[in-house]
Amino acid sequence: MIDLLPFASTYVYSPRGESAESVRSRILRTRVKAGDVDWIERYATRVHELAVDHGVYPGYFGKQTVLVPVPGSSPLVPGGLWVPERLAQALESLGLAVAVWPAVRRTDTVPKSAFAAPGERPTAERHHETFEVEHTLAPPTRIVLVDDIVTKGRTLLAAATRLRESFPQADIRAFALVRTMGLVAEIEQILDPCVGEIRWQDDDAHRAP
Amino acid sequence: MHQIQIKTPSDLLGTPNDVEAKNAPAQFYLQGDLELLKRGPRISVVGSRKASPEGLNRATVLARLLAQRNMIVVSGLAAGIDTAAHRAAIDAGGRTIAVIGTPLDEAYPPENAALQAQIAEKHLLVSQFASGTKTKPQHFPMRNRTMALLTDATVIVEAGESSGTLHQGWEALRLGRLLFLMESVANDQRLSWPKEMIHYGAQVLSRSNLENALADIPAVTSRGGTERDAFY
């Protein structure tokens, strides 16, 4: 695994909190998971505003950036809904990138984390084994992996490692629209933009913030 | 008796994305309590018409459990698993939605006419076929795809290699909705379809993960879009 992956995010989501804001964060998560066209466009517009008007995400978006959507936990059914790809398209259409490139593919299924017991959730290594990267003769100089929701960051780290193996010269980063706040009882504000990192340490991914 | 109402997919789901729009009917005919389409999660419990006694029992136990958790049990009012699921939900004091392959004023199989009337009166009956439409075999798989569209998750209790239920399983996967296969059918070595569906993301539902699975079903079909929640 690569040691460090620069990572950025816009919203936070609480899986279990009971405050009004935590409950609202789950509505946001549901809208994103549903591939809701209207809401994804609105959320992408907010990302654009933060990036362009407020300079919140330096080095992530722009005319050098190619967005690579992160695969789900299983190979995609032909014609199936792929939310990170929808999100990447929405960001690209606002001018935050030069292209969307579905370069990483899932070759075999891994258990969905939500339904696996904590010790049985797929490891970063298992994600890595089940990813393959499309070849190109003209590798991008900056790749931003795009995911809808990040939890620990294992999937992102494994996908970034695969990309680094194929494109050692590229600047590789990750953007997740929403980050899960599993260890915090309640969240104070859904909109909570950040830049941080995902580190590989003690055989696991560690996300900060 | 409730009046028949006509709604579009946008009325019921918000603007459909193109994956949802692909197989969505132009309109729905509805009779009963439309409030059931405003909340979730809604879970389809579906399977064979010629079900085994064990399969019928599993459908009954699951539908009862869902009803006790205030989840809405959706099925197709066919013989076998569907009938068991509707009846168990009603008997447990829960709510149920039937998505049928005939117009609302016809019943198939005819012996379910009374159950269909009860659902139209106290719960919700849905069809994509206008009154007077001649029922054709292909209407039942169309109904199954529509059921996948209207529900947050589908559970296949039991189904053979050529069961119409499989259309619903594949449609749920295509729509990005949760698909669960009961462990007994997932492990049935005589069947090839469970392995294929698991490869594409179907989850195996067992006693050990049932609690976790039911606790985390996003209500994507009632995602709504009220201005009160218009944060972004």
Q: Do A74 and B199 touch (CB under 8 A)?
A: yes
Nearest by CB to residue B203, choosing from A37, A83, A112, is A112
pLDDT at B209 (0 to 100): 87
pLDDT at A16 (0 to 100): 87
Q: Record the pTM.
A: 0.94
pLDDT at A111 (0 to 100): 84
- 88-117 of B, contacting A, C-beta below 8 A: none
Nearest by CB to residue A81, choosing from B15, B17, B203, is B17
pLDDT tens sequence across B15-41: 899 999 999 999 999 999 999 998 879
Q: Do A83 and B216 touch (CB under 8 A)?
A: no
Helical ranges in B80-177 per DSSP H: 81-91, 113-122, 139-150, 165-175
Report the SS3 class of residue B113. Answer: helix
Chain A interface includes B203 (CB < 8 A) = yes
ipTM of the complex: 0.92
Chain B interface includes A20 (CB < 8 A) = no
Spell out the residues 6+ positions from residue A100 whose beta carbon is closer than 8 angstroms to its own. Answer: A66, A67, A68, A69, A85, A88, A89, A92
pLDDT at B210 (0 to 100): 87
Token pair recorded at residue A87:
């999100």
Token pair recorded at residue A68:
């690579």
Chain A interface includes B195 (CB < 8 A) = no
Query: A141: distance to nearest CA of chain B, Å?
Result: 31
One-letter amino acid at B147 equals M
* CA nearest to B77, candidates B38, B31, B46, B34: B46
Chain A interface includes B210 (CB < 8 A) = no
Chain B interface includes A108 (CB < 8 A) = yes
Query: A197: distance to nearest CA of chain B, Å?
Result: 24
Q: How confident is the model at residue B172 (pLDDT cuts 50, 70, 90)?
A: very high
Query: A11: distance to nearest CA of chain B, Å?
Result: 9
Q: Do B223 and A114 touch (CB under 8 A)?
A: no
Q: What percent of chain B has pLDDT over 70?
A: 96
Nearest by CB to residue A35, choosing from B19, B203, B225, is B19
pLDDT at B229 (0 to 100): 59
Between residues A178 and B2, the one the model is more confident about = A178
Q: Which residue of B has its CA nearest to A177?
A: B232
Q: Which residue of A has its CA nearest to B225?
A: A39
Nearest by CB to residue B201, choosing from A72, A79, A83, is A72
Chain B interface includes A106 (CB < 8 A) = no
Nearest by CB to residue A109, choosing from B170, B201, B220, is B201
Q: What is the DSSP string of chain A?
A: --SEEEEEEEEEE-SS--SHHHHHHHHHHHHHHTT-HHHHHHHHHHHHIIIIIS--STTTSSTTEEEEEPP-SSPPPTT---HHHHHHHHHHHTTS-SEE---EEE-S----GGGS-GGGSPPHHHHHHTEEE---SS--SEEEEEEEEESSSHHHHHHHHHHHHH-TTSEEEEEEEEEE-TTSS--S-SEEEEEEEEEEETTEEEEE-
Q: Do A36 and B213 touch (CB under 8 A)?
A: no
* CA nearest to B56, candidates B195, B184, B151: B184
* CA nearest to B203, candidates A91, A120, A105, A156: A120
Q: Fill in the DSSP letter of residue B17.
A: P
Query: B197: distance to nearest CA of chain A, Å?
Result: 9
Edge-to-edge strand order for the sheet containing A191-201? A99-100, A65-69, A142-150, A171-180, A4-13, A191-201, A204-208
Chain B interface includes A44 (CB < 8 A) = no
Contact A147, A156 (CB under 8 A): yes
Q: Scan for tokens 């959706």, then name that residue.
A: B74
- By DSSP bridging, strand B28-32 and strand B124-127 are antiparallel
Domains and CATH numbers, chain A: 4-208 (3.40.50)
pLDDT at B227 (0 to 100): 47
Spell out the residues 6+ positions from residue B148 whose beta carbon is closer than 8 angstroms to its own. Answer: B44, B154, B168, B171, B172, B175, B177
Q: Do B218 and A33 touch (CB under 8 A)?
A: yes
Q: Is the peptide bond before A140 cis (omega within 30 degrees of 0)?
A: no
**Could you give the angle at the alpha carbon of B177 between the alpha carbons of B176 and B178, nearest 5°?**
120
- The pLDDT of A159-169, averaged and rounded, is 97
Angle between helices B81-91 and B113-122 (to 10 degrees): 40
Chain B interface includes A107 (CB < 8 A) = no
For residues B26, B30, B33, B34, the Cα torsion angle rounded to the nearest 10 degrees is 10
pLDDT tens sequence across B105-141: 999 999 999 999 999 999 999 999 999 999 999 999 9
Q: How many CB pairs under 8 A join A and B?
A: 100
pLDDT at A108 (0 to 100): 96
